[in-house]
Amino acid sequence: MKPRYIAIEGNIGAGKTTLARLLAERLHARLILEEFSDNAFLPKFYEDPARWAFPLELSFLADRYKQLKEFLATPDLFAQPVISDYLFIKSRLFAKINLEEAEYQLFSKMYALMELHLPRPEVLLFLHAPLATLQAHIRERGRAYEQNIDSDYLLRVGESYQEFLNSLPIPILILDSSCLDFRDEPQAIEALIAQIDSGMQPGIQYFPWIAKG
């Protein structure tokens, strides 16, 4: 059976939203995009992480839960494919990086209660990219508050995702976004869909696409 709920994840600047839009268009799927542009705490966090980390992570937790609960709790969930450009667990991953231990323990209790009410995606597409690619993408999209993200922070986020991937009991397809541009190579989208629909087993697999030219 073809998966009906596909999530896309990756580091900051990996290209999650771009792939989600292209894949949703090709599959005529409902699209869930993370709502972060109106988060008033995000620019403040990048200016003063120690002061604003806890309210930032709590606000993201609440916003992601509300969005996913409303979107995925409808009766026609599986009548049409669903593509999301984030996983709910990213709240816990970023909280682990950004919060002090006592704050993180409190956060984790709240997260655990919310997670029980959300379905798990059937397939995860994970966009891997080296640091230089992430930094180039961040510069290109031009969000002012992201331009001074520290390299060490991006590396810590990547390490946190790696730990998570090794424990997730669903099919995971890793894509190298440093050599993939689905906008310029539509045949790569077709190859990706074919691999997703091939009956993937739980565990990590790799998308073997090599960019032309």
Confidence of residue 78 (pLDDT cuts 50, 70, 90): low
Q: How far apart are CA 13 and CA 142, in angstroms?
A: 11
What mean pLDDT, rounded, does the chain reach? Answer: 89
pLDDT digits (tens, 9 = 90+) for 130-166: 999 999 999 988 788 788 888 999 999 999 998 888 8
| Residues whose CB falls within 8 Å of the CB of residue 193, separated by 6 or more in sequence, listed in order | 23, 26, 27
For residue 177, what pLDDT is reported? 85
Per-residue tokens: 77? 């969930």
pTM over 0.75: yes
Per-residue tokens: 133? 């690619």
pLDDT over threshold 60, residue 212: no
For residue 80, what pLDDT is reported? 84
User: What are the b/e assignments for 152-169, b being 16+ CB within 10 Å?
Assistant: eebebbbebbeebbeebe
| Residues whose CB falls within 8 Å of the CB of residue 72, separated by 6 or more in sequence, listed in order | 5, 82, 118, 119
Contact 30, 82 (CB under 8 A): yes
| Residues whose CB falls within 8 Å of the CB of residue 75, separated by 6 or more in sequence, listed in order | none
For residue 211, what pLDDT is reported? 53
Reported as half-sphere exposure (CB side, CA atoms, 13 A), residue 57 has a value of: 25
Of residues 29, 16, 47, the one with CA closest to residue 137: 16
Q: If you average pLDDT over residues 98-125, what whole number do you get? A: 95
Helix (H, G, I), strand (E, B) or coil at 50: helix
Q: How far apart are CA 1 and CA 199, in angstroms?
A: 7
Catalytic residues: 85
pLDDT digits (tens, 9 = 90+) for 17-50: 999 999 999 999 999 999 877 788 988 998 899 9
Helix, strand, coil fractions of the chain, as percent rounded to 5: 50, 15, 35
Name the burial class of residue 98, with classes exposed (0-12), middle (13-18) and buried (19+) by CB atoms within 10 angstroms of its CB.
buried
For residue 210, what pLDDT is reported? 58
Confidence of residue 75 (pLDDT cuts 50, 70, 90): low
For residue 213, what pLDDT is reported? 46
Of residues 172, 173, 176, the one with CA closest to residue 209: 176
Each as own residue / partner, the long-range contacts of residues 40-47 (CB below 8 Å, 24 or more positions apart, any chain) are 42/145, 43/144, 43/145, 45/98, 46/145, 46/146, 46/148, 46/149, 47/145
pLDDT over threshold 70, residue 53: yes
